[in-house]
Amino acid sequence: MPDAQSIRGALLVAGTSSDAGKSLIVAGLCRALHRRGVSVAPFKAQNMSNNSAVTLDGGEIGRAQAMQAVACGLAPSVRFNPVLLKPGSDRQSQVVVRGHVDGTVGAADYHTRRAALAQIVADELASLRTDFDVVICEGAGSPAEINLRRSDIANMGLAQAADLPVVVVGDIDRGGVLAHLLGTVACLSPSDQARISGFVINKFRGDQSLLEPGLVQLEQLTGRPTLGVVPFAEGLWLDAEDSLASVVGHTVGRAAAALGTERLSVAAIRLPRISNSTDVEALACEPGVDVRWVDDAAAVASADLAVLPGSKATVSDLAWLRSRGLDVALIARAAAGRPVLGVCGGYQMLGREIVDDVEAGVGTVPGLGVLDLRIRFETDKVLRQVRGNAFGKPVHGYEIHHGRVVANNDASLLTDNDFGPEGSIRGAVVGTHWHGLLACDEFRRDYLGNVAAQAGRPGFVAGRTSFDAARMAQLDLIADLVETHLDFERVMEIIAQGPTGGLPVITTALT
């Protein structure tokens, strides 16, 4: 067994599917190793997500990798996620390479860029392995997507290129996890199978003794152990990897008891191409605030606060709003002096006009007209961390958008330290390009106090939640779960030893 202080190596955490828990397991391993004094970094070769964060070096990476960096005690860096795909439609994605936009690509022709991107990925991972003792890599989707194996740079393609051992995570909450784990290995070629060192079962509920016979059979069939069974933990919900976590009708987080006599209800509109949906998580951390994803006009009309979040396809999502009558509900709220908050793309939709010859290429489109705001899309994307002042309090956040404000006749929401007035306030309607603003504790409390007054909820009392502390508590919780419920010493051995070979090959018609 290697000593934590002397361990060196890398590991790929793959999953049987998207949203199987790869991001959280990677974060937990990173946090656990960091707490033991190990120099550790996260890595995701290629991510597909519209939930992103801006790094100190002015680049853009997946939000999950930013969270994993924090778990390692590091500032987020483009090194941790060199390739990010941001879907703008079902057939096309913006390609972000080393933090910056490098064109768009369709699903059918992405393979034409594989060689160049594979080299970028290999170089970044090699650099990280030089600078850190341990690198915990996260796969993308499933390693068993056999139609994509030739162009794979994030799963078994990465494992082969960098000589990585692999553990596979399965989500038992979905059902069929043993078949998923067995089938994942069986779909791989013999050379890929040789890198699979074990399994992790995630989100388990109930009596584990009932699962044990299945784990024994799984090891007999595959020759690989289950390294642990991580229990379902309702307290883990911040910094979701992608839109799969933003399900219409579902609440965000865990509703905490109110401090006063009344609660606030928040309707967060689930746009088809929602971007940085994590903005509303800060609201859900507050006691007495209930946040729910919605897509119908009645839910928007009845809530105390309606939130129109960011979008990777602003004009398209604006058309979707209109097709469902959500535009009418939002305009009616504004006219009645009832609170509406727009963030980034949502802010742009609330204005009078959007000129988009870049993202959608449709020219001038009328907005909802509840803010006296005009937006023009530019080719260059704004990517920066920001600081300023709002409601007399210091605030910070980050910007990720192509749209520029070319006219704003409403009062500003805040003052950017570098660029002056930012955002808009008109009555109970508030908008900003800043992501992360709601994570500023004093601003959030003041804003919720205003919402309560405008919504006629005098019995609501704002809490004293520290959002940063809540995030760190979740990181420590997943690290505790990983250390308690995984054979952590065996995991460290796998990291240190690398692929050992000699494991059984499961033969199927596919191989």
The distance from CA 126 to its chain's CA centroid, rounded to whole angstroms, is 25
**Sequence spans of domains, the chain:** 9-237+471-497, 260-462
Asked if residue 364 lies in contact with residue 406, where contact means CB atoms within 8 angstroms, the answer is no
Among residues 34, 180, 401, 435, the one annotated as catalytic is 435
Yes or no: say if 326 and 353 are a contact pair by the CB < 8 Å rule: no
| Model confidence pLDDT, tens digit, residues 97-127 | 998 988 887 766 777 788 889 999 999 999 9
Beta-strand relationship, 393-408 and 373-390: antiparallel
Q: Of 165, 181, 174, give the one whose Cα is nearest residue 217.
A: 181
User: Which position among 72, 137, 344, 440 bears the catalytic label?
Assistant: 344
CA neighbor of 432 nearest in space, from 359, 441, 442, 443: 443
Domains 9-237+471-497 and 260-462 equal at CATH topology level: yes
Tokens at 255, concatenated: 């509703």
User: From CA 318, how far away is CA 502, in angstroms rounded?
Assistant: 56
CATH dotted code for 9-237+471-497: 3.40.50.300
459 token code pair = 């019995």
Contact (CB, 8 A) for 50 and 273: yes
433 has catalytic annotation:
no
Both tokens assigned to 107? 């699903």
Confidence class of residue 509 from pLDDT cuts 50, 70 and 90? very low
Per-residue confidence (pLDDT) for residue 510, from 0 to 100: 42
Cβ–Cβ < 8 Å for 53, 239? no
**What was the pLDDT predicted at 2?**
64
Q: Which one is the CATH code of 260-462: 3.40.50.300, 3.40.50.880, 3.90.1150.10, 3.40.50.1100?
A: 3.40.50.880
> What tens digit of pLDDT does each residue of 196-218 get?
999 999 999 988 999 999 999 99
pLDDT exceeds cutoff 50 at 511:
no
**Which stretch of 256-260, 358-362, 394-398 has the lowest confidence by average pLDDT?**
358-362
pLDDT reported for residue 242: 56
3-state secondary structure of 253: coil
| Alpha carbon distance 99, 88 (integer Å) | 17
Q: And the tokens for 322?
A: 């209109």
**Average pLDDT of the segment spanning 171-191:** 93
Cβ distance 422 to 434 under 8 Å?
A: yes
Amino acid making up residue 451:
V
Active site annotation includes 137: no
Counted residue by residue, the chain has a size of 511
Residue 90 has pLDDT above 90, yes or no: no
Region 227-234 average pLDDT: 91
pLDDT value for 380 = 92
3-state secondary structure of 46: strand
pLDDT, position 115: 83
Query: What letter represents residue 377's amino acid?
Result: F
Q: What is the pLDDT of residues 296-345, one digit of tens each?
A: 999 999 999 999 999 999 999 999 999 999 999 999 999 999 999 999 99
Pull the structure tokens for residue 104: 């768009």
pLDDT in tens, 17-61: 888 899 999 999 999 999 999 999 999 999 988 888 999 888 999
Cα separation, 43 vs 162, in Å, equals 12
